[in-house]
Amino acid sequence: MEKRPATVGTKEGLGAGIIGLGLLLGFLPSAAQKIADLDFVQSEPFGILTGAVFVMAVLTALAGLAVILAKFEDAEE
Amino acid sequence: MSTASAKPVAKKKRSSRIPLTYVVALVPVAAALNIVGGQINTILKLPIFLDMIGTAVAAIVLGPWWGALVGAITNIVSSFISGPIGLPFAVVNVVGALVWGYGVRWGLGKKYWSYFLLNIIVAFLCSVTAVPIYVFIFGGATGHFADMMTAAFLAMGQNLIVSVFSSNILVSLADKIIAGFVALAIIEALPANLTANIQLPAAAGGLKKVLWIAGGVIVGAAITLIALAVAK
């Protein structure tokens, strides 16, 4: 039987995007400290992290909404 | 009793699935394109960003969330190369990818004028996302060319948020129009089976296509010149 090449669609795209958001979230704590250490930045690491996490939370919620609304009927059969 | 005859006949539709090999090749290349563009911009101190061309290509060809992944990878890798300043702006790259990706899928890429409008929408939403990061994290300045414009607007008596938004929208407009139309040229060069399901104006073909792509880049360059004039 001929083996069909692997393909990706909407489902995998959404998964990849969520992985990207997760990667960003993972780097934020150390980045917040490094940004706060810069000479011209007067913000505290906690404030930077709080703001960044809030924005990431909005994007993660958007990703969840996209998962709910996306149509996956084009999946391989 | 056989159930086979009761089964409704599935309507054969054109698959929107993309071969995995294309994705595995395109995502790192798009991220690399962004990083190289960003580095060129930093070295030449241009009044634009050039770090979202790959994001636009991935978001339009593969999908908005693949574009978001490219945006996240770009800013994470860039933060290792040129410091942590770029990392909070990953959010802007992600927002740009979502707007480009969904915009084209919702039909804003069918005609040249609507594609041009889409780039303006991307620029506006990217600025709306970037301005709070500029103001609340960095106090309005990150060392980019746009800081000179911000200073000029502040000298005119505007408050910080308005000044940062005014300078950022000018830079962002130029950047996203150039990025959008350069991405369109790159998409044209990709294999046809990868772009078969995308509704893009370039399908019209011919001289018109070249003129629109060149025109888009020229409009972006013109806005860049206006930004330069404002900063002086």
Domain assignment present for B111: yes
In chain B, what is the greatest distance between 2 CA atoms, to the nearest angstrom? 84
- 3-state SS, one letter per residue, for B200-229: CHHHHCHHHHHHHHHHHHHHHHHHHHHHHH
DSSP for A6-19 reads PEE-HHHHHHHHHH
* Inter-chain touch A35–B85, beta carbons under 8 Å: yes
Q: Give the integer Cα–Cα distance in Å for A24 and B84.
A: 12
Q: Is B125 on the interface with A (CB under 8 A)?
A: no
From chain A residues 36-55, the ones with a CB under 8 A of any chain B CB are: 38, 40-43, 47-48, 51-52, 55
Q: Higher pLDDT residue, A76 or B168?
A: B168
The ipTM is: 0.84
Q: Which CA distances in Å does B213 have to A7, B31, B49, B102?
A: 31, 22, 19, 21
Domain assignment present for B25: yes
- Report how far Cα B70 is from the mean position of its chain's Cα atoms: 11
Task: For A8-50, write each residue's pLDDT tens digit.
Answer: 888 888 999 999 999 999 998 988 898 888 888 878 888 888 8
From chain A, pick out residues whose CB is under 8 angstroms from the CB of B69: 16-17, 19-20
Count of domains forming chain B:
1
From chain B, pick out residues whose CB is under 8 angstroms from the CB of A52: 88, 91, 137
- pTM for the model: 0.85
Task: For B57-95, write each residue's pLDDT tens digit.
Answer: 999 999 999 999 999 999 999 999 988 888 889 999 999
Task: For B132-162, write each residue's pLDDT tens digit.
Answer: 988 888 888 887 888 888 888 888 888 889 9
Domain assignment present for B71: yes
Q: Give the integer Cα–Cα distance in Å for B43 and B36.
A: 10
Domain assignment present for B8: no
Domain assignment present for B60: yes
From chain B, pick out residues whose CB is under 8 angstroms from the CB of A40: 138-139, 141
How near does any CA of chain B get to the CA of A61, in Å? 13
Quick one: closest CA in B to A40, which residue?
B138
Q: Is A61 on the interface with B (CB under 8 A)?
A: no
CATH of the domain at B116: 1.10.1760.20
Residues paired with A7 in a beta bridge: B19
* Inter-chain touch B69–A38, beta carbons under 8 Å: no
Domain assignment present for B29: yes
Q: Give the integer Cα–Cα distance in Å for A71 and A10.
A: 8
Inter-residue contact B31 to B77 (CB < 8 Å): yes
Q: Is B232 on the interface with A (CB under 8 A)?
A: no
Q: Which domain holds residue B222?
A: 20-231
Considering only CB atoms, A40 lies closest to which of B75, B91, B141, namely B141
Q: Give the integer Cα–Cα distance in Å for B94 and A56.
A: 10
Which among B184, B139, B179 is positioned nearest to B163, based on CA atoms? B139
Confidence of residue B232 (pLDDT cuts 50, 70, 90): low
Which region among A57-61, B12-16, B193-197, B211-215 has the lowest average model confidence (pLDDT)? B12-16
B63's tokens = 């999908």
Q: Is B99 on the interface with A (CB under 8 A)?
A: no
| DSSP three-state, residue B19 | strand
Inter-residue contact B56 to B46 (CB < 8 Å): no
Domain assignment present for B220: yes
Domain assignment present for B118: yes
